[in-house]
Structure 1
Amino acid sequence: MMGIFALEAGALLAALRGGEVSAAAVMAATLDRIAARNPAINAIVSLLDRDTLMAAAARADAVPVADRGALHGLPMAVKDLVATAGIRSTMGSPLYADHIPDRDDLLAARLRGAGAILIGKTNVPEFGLGSQSFNPVFGATRNPYDPTRTAGGSSGGAAAALAAGMLWLADGSDMMGSLRNPAGWNNAYSLRPSWGVVPAEPSGEMFLHALSTDGPMARCPADLALLLGVLAGPDPRMPHTRPLPPAPLAADVTGRRIGWLADWGGAWPMEDGILETCAAALESFAALGCTVEELAPPFSHDALWESWTVLRQFAVAGRLGAADDDPATRGALKPEAIWEIEAGRRLSAADIQSASLIRSDWYRCLAGLAERHDALALPTAQVWPFDIDTRWPDRVAGVAMDTYHRWMEVVIPVSLAGAPAVTVPAGFGAAGLPIGLQLFASRGGDMGLLQLAEAYHRATGWPQRRPPAFASAP
């Protein structure tokens, strides 16, 4: 059964539909692999017991082929920011350490509706804040390419599980690079869809900030498209949803224009080797017939950062403020959460309006850039995966970081615009650690980005370079 782990999700699902392999056999092999590999990296948490999951797989095998969904029989673990009925859902917080929901969030419901078998959760930082997936409930997720380093975040457990060959597909979410950073650091692909393509959970305030979105992560673009097809689609309870225009994944990318923004004209410090590795990846696009040109910064980086910090503080204060108000729960919040909440509560209406105006100006600027470029490119992070015991980098290339998330400034142009961004593996640095390249476009350009990623994947095959510790192990 070890051969199934070499298959892409699409091929495995075809084998399940064709009766070449059973859901029970896939589940047994998956649980064996998790038992062998997960202790070293701590990517999958709240795993259900074997008897429960084998019974679920047996039920899946009994479903007539005509009644099976797109993911029927595939084991999946869901990001631990998503509520899953019957599976502990903690958000990495002691406040929810024993929380077992009685209903699924929309994302989990769509996965189950497509036939996926939910086996547990993937690890996250507390409340998803930060790009280091550690929390007081489960501890830290380690990078399969070097377990002394972080897997990133906040979808760190998802990316590490893919890299270690324990899952075929994973969901993630992205507010400040949480799909892009871990995909890049784990030699995987991800898609941050255009805002509205994958609807958010229809609860609470739904109109104002919209800085984050759910999306797929996988080891190839075809599997991204497969999972996106399950997650995407409007929900009548959610405003601002948008359809995903159909388009073939395989396409001739000759003549596509890519603008390379590098370090935004020197505005963002980068560790040695990151820009060079990403530039080499762009040469692969040039070899495919794309036109790649380096661009001057199209917008003020200071203005982008000002807008981002205000709107993020506003959003976090709204989401977590009640926990901060209660003396019984405030002590369980991590310092970064308290900092965001307190800053958010000091904001005035004028502050928020000013930040939204900057955001709007940047959205219009990006729309203009899209008239001349099919995609824009940036690294997925400004640093290589760092030591697992480091909370967050306080210096990058000798430059002091003034907040816990300043070292991830490279991801905010995409997030502010609600733009789509596909992460492709860019290669490896001198220490053997991976980094990614994010290609982004104006809102609605999702399929064009997936086409670029698919052409790149066929030409390069980076995800075939497995983590050394797991390259030959069963």
Structure 2
Amino acid sequence: MKPEPEADRPDFSGPELSRLTARQAVDALKSGEVTPVELVEASLARIAQTGPAINAMVTTCAERALSAAQNADRDSPLAGLPIGIKDLTPVAGVRTTWGTPALADFIPEASDPLVLRLEARGAVVIGKTNTPEMGAGANTFNPVFGATLNPWDTRMNAGGSSGGAAAGLATGETWLSHGSDLGGSLRTPASFCGIVGLRPSPGVVTGGGADPFDTMPVQGPMARDVADCALFLDMMAGSDPASPLSVPSPEQSYLDQCLAPAGAIRIAFSADLGGWAPVTDQMTRLLREGLDRITGDGVALFDAKPPLRGAEDCFRTLRALGFWAQARKTPERITRLYKPALQQNIADGASLTTEDVAQAMTTRARLFAEMRGFLGAYDVLACPVSGVPPLPQEIEYPTEVAGVPSRDYLSWLAFAFPATLCGLPALSLPLGFTESGLPVGVQLIGQPRGEGRLLQVARALEARIGFAARPIDPIIR
């Protein structure tokens, strides 16, 4: 698999400011070369231009954003840079729907703590990005806003649940966009749309969760390149007295760690996680060819079999438990309108026994200890983000992968489970393209609390891959 040459990359007809990386845009803001208002206007213009084709930014807040831009502090870390916020996270005064009918017209009075932190650091919220209903699913569609489409081929889905964020970044609607991840919700859309998405360790980014003690769902950064992703992680990170699991930001910023020389890199590679996760021959070949092409000269690749016995049942149990717990405190007027797949998730949680939960807890503890030992010999574990490339939008999930039948929409997301269960940082890095021109990302899983090293390795590999980070016009087919 070869990266796409810059000359062959699809056209980009948006505002020139939208071509900038986030770091370039922030530098331009700080120097006074551009103003926050100009960036807000560029973002709104691009959303208007691409929205009909991809439906990524489903709610804009132009007046709020322009007011914030006019009052932005040039000396703040982001200096007035517009960003997208996923439509699972409240923004004061901005329609926030969770993609579910009963909340279609909900306008929160207060913002999530993460939004407050980002705004305090100079971010300007431009709008809300699309998500599956309640974030459940890896195909972004819901009864409130409809489907988000893949900008590389609008017949295909953009992944989920942060599909709106990924598609908008790929087309230049924003420079940075917020996402969240439980079962690959950052990683899958990043892979499908050719951008970078990072699931950080629990506690690195606070806010955005109903249960502050739940380590399965996390918030994280999405961007068009690794260094921009590191910048956004710095802006999201930090301890919060209201979050019992939060950790302080590192003494050396994530961006500085990312930009430091990576030195020798040891990569463990497993195309199927030791036979545990189904993957097509096409995806195996694409990842193997892509990784083989960038090894050598300080980068070593080793075939490996990570210890993941019991991971699927463990993940399913703990995820179902979380869905059921959340549903118990959600009004029935909301839950009764949920889509069938979401209703089933809740029912699965309600049917759990104490033995089921105890088994999952002990399995999770063992998996963490074994994965910690396994990763001690490597800088990262490389594996697929998903076992298949992007699917046609009308297919909610594949009924089988490589001949293995799917139990439900979780089955094809198995590659997301290990990092979530073990609290490990994981990043989706663009690696190349399928024969039909659809992006394919490689998942890099780092050591416990290893965000800095993971970003450093990812940036070094990104330079070798040569994937152009410039935004594209949607390819309408």
Instruction: Calculate the TM-score normalised by the size of structure 2.
Output: 0.92
Structure 1 residue 201 displacement after superposition: 4.0
Q: Percent identity?
A: 37
Change in Cα spacing, 1:288 to 1:36, as seen in structure 2 (3 Å) is farther
Quick one: which amino acid aligns to residue 323 of structure 2?
A: V
* Corresponding position of 1:440: 445
1:137, distance to aligned residue in structure 2 (A): 0.3
Moved segments of 4+, more than 4 Å: 465-468
Q: 1:271 Cα deviation (Å)?
A: 2.7
Opposite residue 44 of structure 2, the aligned amino acid is L
CA separation of 1:465 and 1:400: change in aligned 2, threshold 3 A: farther
For 1:336 and 1:172, locate their aligned partners in 2 and report how far apart those are by CA, in whole Å: 22
Matched residue type, 2:430: P
> Which of residues 249, 268, 278 is equivalent to 1:269?
278
Following TM superposition, by how much is the alpha carbon of 1:334 offset from its aligned partner in structure 2, in angstroms?
0.9
Q: Please say if residues 19 and 470 of structure 2, whose CA atoms lie closer than 8 Å, have aligned partners that are also in contact.
A: no
Matches of 2:290 and 2:438 in 1, distance apart? 15
Query: Which of 248, 269, 273 is 1:260 aligned to?
Result: 269
Q: 2:194 aligns with which of 179, 187, 191?
A: 187
Structure 2 residue 434 is the aligned partner of structure 1 residue 429: yes
Are 1:78 and 1:122, in contact at CA under 8 Å, matched by a contact in 2? yes
1:290-317: per-residue Cα shift (whole Å, max 9, x none)? 11100124232xx111101110000000
SS in 1 for 2:273: coil
- The reply to whether residue 389 of structure 1 matches residue 394 of structure 2 is yes
1:146 to 124, 138, 153: 153
Q: Could you report, residue by residue, the CA deviation over 1:288-347 in whole angstroms, capped at 9, with x for unpaired residues?
A: 5111100124232xx111101110000000112344x73x44431111111111111111
SS in structure 1 of the partner of residue 126 of structure 2: strand
Task: Identify which of 279, 283, 298 aligns with 2:288.
Answer: 279
* Unpaired runs of at least 5, structure 1: none
1:59 to 71, 76, 82: 71
CA contact (8 A) 1:235 1:241 kept: yes
Residue 294 (structure 1) aligned with residue 303 (structure 2)? yes
State the alpha-carbon separation in 1 of the partners of residues 185 and 93 from structure 2.
25
Task: Sort the Cα spacing of 1:469 and 1:299 in 2 relative to 1 into closer, same or farther, 3 A.
Answer: closer
Counterparts of 1:248 and 1:386, CA distance in 2: 36
* Kept in 1: contact 2:82–2:126 (CA 8 A): yes
Superposed displacement of residue 205, structure 1:
3.6
Q: Residues 42-57 of structure 1: matches in 2 within 5 Å?
A: 42-49=55-62, 51-57=63-69
Deviations 1:82-103 (A, max 9, x none): 0100111111111211111111
Contact persistence 1:143–1:151 (CA under 8 A)? yes
Task: Show the counterpart of 2:96.
Answer: 89
Which secondary structure state, in structure 2, belongs to the residue aligned with residue 130 of structure 1?
coil
In structure 2, runs of 5+ residues without a counterpart are 1-13
Q: What is the CA–CA distance in structure 2 between the aligned matches of 1:288 and 1:140, rounded to whole Å?
A: 44
CA–CA separation in structure 1 for the residues paired with 2:380 and 2:40: 39
2:314 alignment partner in structure 1: 307
Aligned residues: 459
Deviates more, 1:77-86 or 1:340-349: 340-349
CA distance in 1, matches of 2:437, 2:33: 37
Counterpart of 1:3 (choices 10, 16, 19) is 16
Aligned-partner residue type, residue 180 of structure 2:
S
CA contact (8 A) 2:50 2:473 kept: no
Task: Report the alpha carbon displacement of residue 255 of structure 1 after superposing the two structures with TM.
Answer: 2.4
Question: What is the CA–CA distance in structure 2 between the aligned matches of 1:465 and 1:72, rounded to whole Å?
Answer: 22
Structure 2 residue corresponding to 1:206, chosen from 205, 212, 216: 212
Are residues 256 and 243 of structure 1, via their aligned partners in 2, closer, same or farther at CA, if it must alter by over 3 Å?
farther
Shift of 1:149: 0.5
Please give the residue correspondences for 1:60-75 in structure 2 after superposition, counting only pairs within 5 Å.
60=72, 63=73, 65=74, 68-75=75-82
What is the SS of the residue equivalent to 1:248? helix
Aligned-pair CA distance for 1:267? 3.0
Distance (whole Å) between structure 1 residues aligned to residue 468 and residue 139 of structure 2: 22
Secondary structure of the 2:219 match is strand
Which residue number corresponds to residue 353 of structure 1? 358
In the aligned structure 2, how far is the partner of 1:160 from the partner of 1:468?
Answer: 11
Aligned in 2, Cα 1:312/1:250: closer, same or farther, shift over 3 Å?
same
Aligned counterpart, 1:14: 27
- The answer to whether the aligner puts 1:34 opposite 2:40 as a matched pair is no
Return the offset for 1:52. Answer: 4.6
In the alignment, which of 81, 100, 122 is matched to residue 129 of structure 2? 122
2:236 aligns with 231
The secondary structure found in structure 2 opposite 1:308 is helix
Contact kept, 8 Å, 1:254 with 1:288, in 2: the verdict is no
Change (3 A) 1:330 1:371: closer
Q: 1:197 aligns to what SS in structure 2?
A: coil
The one-letter code sitting in structure 2 at the alignment partner of 1:351 is D
Structure 1 residue 468: Cα displacement: 6.0
Range with bigger deviation, 170-179 or 18-27:
18-27
- Aligned equivalents of 1:178 and 1:104: distance in 2? 22
Hey, what does 2:138 align to over in structure 1?
A: 131
Q: Partners in 2 of 1:462 and 1:257 — Cα distance?
A: 21
In structure 2, C-alpha distance between the alignment counterparts of 1:319 and 1:167, rounded to whole Å? 31
Tell me the distance in 1 between the aligned counterparts of 2:380 and 2:175: 27
Worse-matched range after superposition: 160-169 or 280-289 = 280-289
| Structure 1 equivalent of residue 378 of structure 2 | 373
C-alpha distance in structure 1 between counterparts of 2:359 and 2:275, whole Å: 26
Give the SS at the match of 1:391: coil
CA distance in 1, matches of 2:293, 2:473: 25
Which of structures 1 and 2 has the larger relative contact order (alpha carbons within 8 angstroms, sep 6+)?
Answer: 2
- Quick one: distance in 2 between partners of 1:267 and 1:177? 17
Secondary structure in structure 2 of the residue aligned to 1:15: helix
Equivalent position amino acid for 1:438 in 2: Q
